[in-house]
A and B are shown apart, each in its own frame.
Chain A
Amino acid sequence: MKRIAIAERADWRAQADALGFKFHTINGEPYWVEDAYYQFTLRQIEDDIEAPSAEIHQMAMALVGEVVRSEELLARLEIPERYWQWIAQTWGSDDTTQAPHLYGRMDFAYTGVGPAKLLELNYDTPTSLYEAAYFQWLWLEQLIARGDLPAGSDQYNAIQDLLIEAFRALTPGLTQPLYFASVANHPEDRGTVLYLRDCAAQAGISTEIIDIEDIGLAVGGRFTDLQHRVISSLFKLYPLEFLFREEFGPALPNSGIQLFEPPWKAILSNKGALPLLWERHPNHPNLLEAHFERPDAPALEAGWVRKPLHSREGANVDLIMPNGERISQDGPYADGAFIRQRYAPLPKFDEWHAVVGAWIVADRAAGLGMREDQNPITRDAARFVPHAIVD
């Protein structure tokens, strides 16, 4: 695993603008970066990222099957009790009948040598999808075509093909149109949603777009769009735990809506899944030791990270490095329970801390997206950098 400088395509911004990648630059700062790429060997990809992410996915799914049947575990994850039955229903009576899901991303600390260590699961609202699945692929194809990378170069990336396949697999049980919702005035989220909708359309599904704020609640408990049409199927790029705690949340279980991601994903979008995985698979080479923080827990020791159950984008994460240096990321998530996880340093290339994002589509390991940040805690400001497999 190396970070290698390379010439940018002169026209990449024009291409991005024409291809719906409107958020390649965010608040004047580059988000998509292609003056370098991360280089992997095929063995690194297959043995150290693809195989472990497929295995951890199976471990995560088995965990859901256990948690939906345990009031004690649901309570430990701070999932509101009124949703327990609904979550269990969407999982189904055995572990093979769950409401379908589309995708998730695992973040790993991986240096190129030794096992990748799971930092967290982003299994409800993962972003950086379009750039990983499509724009990164286009970058590699064009660099090979222009002779800037060797003809045999490759990329771990079947994300889009598998997404279209996953959408196609939904259609027999899906009430169309499938609505795609994200928060208003958020171009990055809207971009991700428009990309997913593109994949759904390629699978032959009819689609609609709506702001999450515009969803209505009707007499009889159904959700509606701005034309009062009932929303029966909804992809929401919006955290389940937010939906649960907002005004319309209590109407969800009886609304007849099919949600993507499905309600049972609340168990895996929760940092509490990390200590639960560790308890079930102690010393697994790809897991980091993790525990729920007890109310009377002593101060954070060196070499540990403290994360809220529901943090995103690195918010409210405290990190004490082995040398005692403390790094804290502010945020709005300090109001719930915390977990502690053993610190695994991200590899540093020049001033960039790199994190591996391994994509799962439906239940298959699908591809890779690299992000890098000057801060050792990866934040939403982290830049996306393409990768290539060159042996």
Chain B
Amino acid sequence: MKRSKLLKLALLGSAPLLLTGCEEDHPAFVYESVAACISAKQLPEQACRDDFTRAQANHLAAAPRYTSPQDCETDFGVGRCTTNQESGGSFFVPLMTGYMIASVLRSSGPDWYNSQNNRAPQPLYQTRGSGAWRTSGNIVIGSNTGMAKVPAAASRPAARAVTMSRAGFGSTASARGSWGG
């Protein structure tokens, strides 16, 4: 047979399929602080400390960015945002109120966290009035601390950067009209 046996659409159809099985969860640990991580005794103490430092190092680059403090506080609560300077100007980000240590692999052995290379630490945030943790990519990963399962997309921090300008692509299409192939 020269054609596919069975085709489906995942998102385009009127009844999108749930993509279970494709987005396999990664094992992870969630804590509000180094002290909480150490006292939980689920991870080696050194991992608790090292990964907090690594998550914190990601925080400013990855956190949701706001140009006004009011907008940030609307989302994250009064007094829960900080101001920061970058060469492009100042911006506001929510406080990092926790951190997550996810496995970089979907299926990992029982002691995956003993190797730093297997661990992807990242900052976590809590929106106003909610105890649920969110990643910098705005993926909700639940309200609990300790052991967790997180979607693959949440296992890595989002990288952010200060946008200087837009509309630097697309001008030829508007000037020339049709161009497809």
A239 & B179 in contact (Cβ 8 Å cutoff)? yes
Task: State the interface size on chain A (CB cutoff 8 A).
Answer: 76
A195 & B12 in contact (Cβ 8 Å cutoff)? yes
A213 & B167 in contact (Cβ 8 Å cutoff)? yes
List residues of B (73-120) whose CB comes within 8 Å of A's CBs. Answer: 86-88
Greatest chain A CB density within 10 A among B4, B22, B172 is at B4
Q: Does A216 contact B (CB under 8 A)?
A: yes
Using A137-B4, A176-B153, A177-B153 as known contacts, say yes or no to A230 and B13 having CB atoms under 8 A apart.
no
- 6 CB-based A-B contacts, threshold 8 Å: A20-B12, A206-B153, A219-B162, A228-B65, A230-B158, A242-B172
B9 & A216 in contact (Cβ 8 Å cutoff)? no
* Min CB gap B161→A, angstroms: 3
Please report A residues at the B interface, Cβ cutoff 8 Å.
18-20, 42, 45-46, 105, 122, 124-127, 133-134, 137-138, 140, 154-158, 160-161, 176-177, 183-184, 186, 188-189, 194-195, 197-198, 201-204, 206, 211-220, 222, 224, 227-230, 232, 237-239, 242-243, 245-249, 251, 312-313, 315, 332-333, 367, 380, 389
Give the chain A neighbours of B175 by CB distance below 8 A: 332
Closest B residue by C-beta to A175: B156
Please report B residues at the A interface, Cβ cutoff 8 Å.
1-4, 7-14, 19, 22-24, 64-65, 86-88, 137, 152-153, 156, 158-181
Question: Interface residues of B: mostly helix, strand, loop or mixed?
Answer: loop
Greatest chain A CB density within 10 A among B1, B159, B166, B180 is at B180
* Min CB gap B21→A, angstroms: 8
Closest A residue by C-beta to B19: A201
A140 & B161 in contact (Cβ 8 Å cutoff)? no
Tell me, in angstroms, the Cα distance from A243 to B168 when the chains sit together: 9
Q: Which residue from A138, A157, A204, A227 sits with its C-beta under 8 Å from B2? A: A157
Closest A residue by C-beta to B136: A229
Give the chain B neighbours of A243 by CB distance below 8 A: 169
